[in-house]
Amino acid sequence: MSLIDESVEEVVRMRIAALDRHAATFQYWRQDELLVVDSFFEIDDLLRELDVVCPRAVRKTVPNYKSARSVSYFTLRQRAPAMLALYRSRALIDFLSEMTGEELLTCPDDDPHACAVYEYDRAGDRVGWHYDISWYEGARFTVLLGLFDDSSARLRCRLYTRDPYRPTREVAIRTAPGSFVFFNGFKVQHCVSPTRAGERRAVLTLQYVTDRRMRAWRRGISLAKDALTYFGLEALSAQRVTSNDSQ
């Protein structure tokens, strides 16, 4: 374990120890598998890495649905050791697993979404309403950590949309620097409202799954979607990850 890994792990342990874990778990389940924690993580190291990786971001636009810049897991593996250490934090994974009642796992190394940065820095950058689809055999869960936000954009979440016995409720969340959002994207319908001219919002996203297996036809669909809407063809090459690791 590197000094960066040890430092990040210690910070995560301290932040989790300071939480009321029973209250956090209660909030997570009461809010339809959504937890929001303000000022969860000190982000100075992550901001320095954000400046390093954002020049390599890929801009993708899907008309009437999405516009943003994305930095894939492959780039973060090479250039953002603190972000990677946070993603792999044993303390964080254990905490999330305890809360969900599931054994959560990091994604396979060929998944560009495993740990990624999303940046919204043009007028109209946004993501439309959607549920997260897991192409894996198991469920997929998402952590969003706020890195930078001088915007009016909000993460908007609709709760209880799949519960016939409860009225739908909508919440708007500002992903301020250091804030922590954890949710089951298959249950929580969500979107990112548009940024305005001169605004910027950047988040680190961490993806965890309950089963790393993925059928071949699902992998093909997932790769095509990622190429067209997030990271481009070059970033999706698993061979690129292997070759870069050997350099």
Range of the domain at 53: 3-241
> Average pLDDT, stretch 91-116?
96
Q: Between helices 3-18 and 90-100, what is the axis angle to 10°? A: 40
How would residue 61 be classed by pLDDT, with cut points 50, 70 and 90? very high
Per-residue confidence (pLDDT) for residue 114, from 0 to 100: 95
If one compares 224 and 80, the residue with the highest pLDDT of the two is 80
Q: What is the CATH number of the domain that holds 103?
A: 2.60.120.620
Residues 172-192 have pLDDT tens digits of 999 999 999 999 999 999 999
Q: Is residue 235 part of a domain?
A: yes
Q: Which H helix or E strand runs over 228?
A: helix 216-229
If one compares 133 and 128, the residue with the highest pLDDT of the two is 128
Q: Is residue 246 part of a domain?
A: no
Q: Is residue 19 part of a domain?
A: yes
What ranges in 72-187 are assigned the alpha helix state H?
73-79, 81-87, 90-100
Q: Is residue 8 part of a domain?
A: yes
Q: Is residue 247 part of a domain?
A: no
How would residue 239 be classed by pLDDT, with cut points 50, 70 and 90? very low
If one compares 234 and 214, the residue with the highest pLDDT of the two is 214
Per-residue confidence (pLDDT) for residue 242, from 0 to 100: 41
Q: Is residue 192 part of a domain?
A: yes
Rounded mean pLDDT of the chain? Answer: 92
Per-residue confidence (pLDDT) for residue 5, from 0 to 100: 82
Q: What is the CA radius of gyration of the chain?
A: 17
Domains of the chain: total? 1
Per-residue confidence (pLDDT) for residue 244, from 0 to 100: 46
Contacts of 48 (CB under 8 A, 6+ apart): none
> Average pLDDT, stretch 45-50?
96
pTM as predicted:
0.93
Per-residue confidence (pLDDT) for residue 234, from 0 to 100: 63
Q: Is residue 170 part of a domain?
A: yes
> Average pLDDT, stretch 70-96?
96
Contacts of 164 (CB under 8 A, 6+ apart): none
Q: Is residue 193 part of a domain?
A: yes
Residue 243 confidence (pLDDT) above 70:
no
CA torsion through residues 153, 192, 51, 11, sign: positive
Contacts of 23 (CB under 8 A, 6+ apart): none
% of residues, the chain, pLDDT over 70: 94
